[in-house]
A = this chain, B = another copy of it.
């Protein structure tokens, strides 16, 4: 990372100050005929099968020019190129930090035929690792599909339980649920993440264990929740007279405490240059997606992600989907002052996609220290949340339309359904009803509606974008995943923060262990802290108040 980049200060940049002035007069979407056909055509861009429509944001030509200038001034694309080229971008200058490369992009850089726009050394080891693991996965999947790899009775495996938490759960789960109609051979994936013992009990209770694989996922090989759940699962298999070695897989870092082939039927590797929340295209996503949908579908997903990466690196700002999304987000966050972002997919397949984005965005950009170790004097990552439409329309959209607090919205839609099982009811298909609602909400939030009844007034000027593609298939899903990964990376670069560490999450682990020690003392397994609360009166008082001692 060149110090030129990090020395830049967001609020002192020329473009920032231009934008501050423009923010006194954001575009008024509620004015008569504000949303002309010309405006809708002007503020759109397309790539990788997606169209981004953002005429319903409070922007105009000069604002978009200034936002593009912000991207240029911060060298956003050059910095993203350095990320993908293997520079050590996960660091805070002058302070102890992770000091790692950020190469999740390499996990999809497996296509010889796709152009490589980069001219510098970029972690060839990472690309080689990705290709080797993908080959291992292809072979493993082929053995499952052919029946060469089966249970002790020779029956095929039909269930896989993914045991992981955080990035080893949210992203893979969101991706898996997005592709259910593509399932092969009746194979199903299930998820256990929570250390709540009811989670494992509920999932295993419903499965034929003899035909089930358990995939334990932890980069460090030491995640408390995951190791605990692995122990619960091994006990359940042993109780059922099944040999865990014939049923347990793992995805872990090479050389981690879990990297022990004698305990697993198969092991796949992830690497220190891939953060958990960016692991969807690594083996963390790969093993379960290839099990359920086949290695070809997983590879299609990688292709979508790779093509979106290339688009992010090369397209000019005003044609660049993830960069446009990043800039519009900065407009809403730093200039319009909105704290949150609702992501509203009109697609049942994306039912858990917002939960993945919560981690991706909030863990990456929920930061208050710049890459130079200084406190920010501006807002960084928004609070991201959302549920699929049209469901949300019957619930929290009330506040989005009429609450005093403005919530920028990102709608996601598809022209066609996944299953092909649709029918015409009252002259339209269900998919048409879904799309009609999406488009109507986008317009309605923007333009508002007058009424003589104050309770029926819709103030409008609620900024939103629509991202739309043909059909939610593996390629589109990969492109969508990388769209958001690159959007978040661009925002982190422009805010000059390190989007790739997670010290706040690390603290949680330390705090948890300390309080677990209290329970060990209660259980008599440790002498300290003493039962009178000696070293930590606050902790013991809380335990007493909570009725756990």
Contact = CB atoms under 8 A, between A and B. Distances in A.
Contacts of A374: 454
Interface in A507-549: 507-509, 511-512, 514-516, 518-520, 522-523, 525-526, 533, 537-548
A397 interface: yes
A97 B384 CA distance: 33
A390 B225 contact: yes
Nearest to A46: B547
A86 to B, nearest CB: 22
27 contacts: A51-B546, A166-B391, A169-B394, A180-B198, A193-B391, A194-B434, A196-B390, A228-B426, A231-B425, A276-B394, A363-B396, A365-B399, A366-B396, A366-B402, A367-B398, A369-B402, A381-B399, A383-B399, A397-B504, A402-B503, A402-B504, A415-B547, A428-B523, A436-B519, A440-B512, A440-B514, A443-B542
Given A35-B538, A41-B545, A181-B201, A439 B515 contact: yes
Nearest to A206: B188
Contact of A507 (B55, B348, B369, B444): B444
Contacts of A394: 165-167, 169, 223, 225, 276, 359, 505, 508
A448 to B, nearest CB: 10
A464 B53 CA distance: 39
A92 interface: yes
Interface residues of A, number: 161
A257 interface: no
A368 B402 contact: yes
A198 B349 contact: yes
A2 interface: no
Contact of A339 (B167, B339, B442, B509): B339
Interface in A378-418: 378-385, 387-391, 393-405, 407, 413, 415, 417-418
Given A202-B180, A339-B340, A395-B362, A405 B383 contact: yes
- Residue with the greatest number of chain B CB neighbours at <10 A, chosen from A346, A380, A394, A545: A394
Nearest 4 CB-CB pairs, A to B? A366-B399, A166-B394, A359-B395, A37-B541
A78 interface: no
A449 interface: yes
B53 A358 contact: no
B503 A456 contact: yes
B512 A390 contact: yes
A509 B76 CA distance: 41
B437 A512 contact: yes
B355 A387 contact: yes
Given A36-B541, A170-B395, 12 more contacts: A51-B545, A55-B545, A165-B391, A195-B433, A196-B417, A227-B425, A397-B508, A402-B503, A432-B523, A436-B515, A437-B516, A441-B512
B363 A398 contact: yes
A547 to B, nearest CB: 6
Contacts of A195: 390, 430, 433-434, 437
A44 to B, nearest CB: 5
Contacts of A365: 399
A169 B391 CA distance: 9
Contact of A519 (B166, B366, B432, B548): B432
Contacts of A385: 383, 385
Contact of A201 (B407, B419, B428, B519): B419
A91 to B, nearest CB: 10
A412 to B, nearest CB: 12
Interface string A176-197: 0000110000000000011111
